[in-house]
Amino acid sequence: MILPTKAVASQELTVKRKLSENTLQVQASSPVALGVRIPTVAVHMTELFDTTVDQLYSIFTVKDLVQKFSKSPAILEAEKGGRFQMFDGNITGEYIELLTNRKIIMKWRCRNWPEEHYATVALSFVPTLGRTELQLDCKGVPVCKEENMRSCWQKQHFEEIKGLLQPTTLSG
């Protein structure tokens, strides 16, 4: 019987480690990930809102407010590990981290993305002279969906939230 040398055993361990790292990058939610690697991009956007940090943070964590800006029923469990579903099920995911009035990190998926593919969306809330800057950092967006993602955030989130923040809308 011939035993493998240390060099061969080390190579096998390195290959296994690289395979497991690649697997985890494909789908971080599952220890045994199957699927196809797809080319992805990162999307960064910033937007100023005429409101306080706590009010803007609430718009992303309070079910009634999410339903108002999305104009559709929503499922929202705003806690670590909690699930969400918005825009008639077109957006689904899970809250990874919530730092009250500072940051929300979510595992995020659009219905028309490749099966079981999620991006990581981080929303940072930065107070500025009587306003709040929202910084969106999204990693793992399929390349073919980049423009669609930017457009959806601009029109369906930012513009709708600004409409919701009009004095008569939010109180009524």
* pLDDT tens-digit map of 141-155: 999 999 999 999 999
pLDDT, mean over the chain = 83
Residue pair 92/85 in contact by the 8 Å Cβ criterion: yes
* pLDDT tens-digit map of 81-128: 999 999 999 999 999 999 999 999 999 999 999 888 999 999 999 999
What is the pLDDT, as a whole number, of residue 3? 55
Percentage with pLDDT > 90 across the chain: 69
Name the pLDDT band for 4 (thresholds 50, 70, 90). low
C-alpha separations of 55 from 25, 50, 90 in Å: 34, 10, 25
* pLDDT tens-digit map of 51-65: 999 999 999 999 999
| C-alpha span between 38 and 51 (Å, rounded) | 38
| C-alpha span between 104 and 26 (Å, rounded) | 22
pTM: 0.76
- Cβ-proximal residues to 17 (8 Å cutoff; 6+ apart), any chain: none
Domains located in the chain, CATH noted: 40-165 (3.30.530.20)
What is the pLDDT, as a whole number, of residue 166? 82
DSSP per-residue codes, 60-121: HH-HHHHHHHHTS--EE--STT-EEEETTTTEEEEEEEEETTTEEEEEEEETTSSTT--EEE
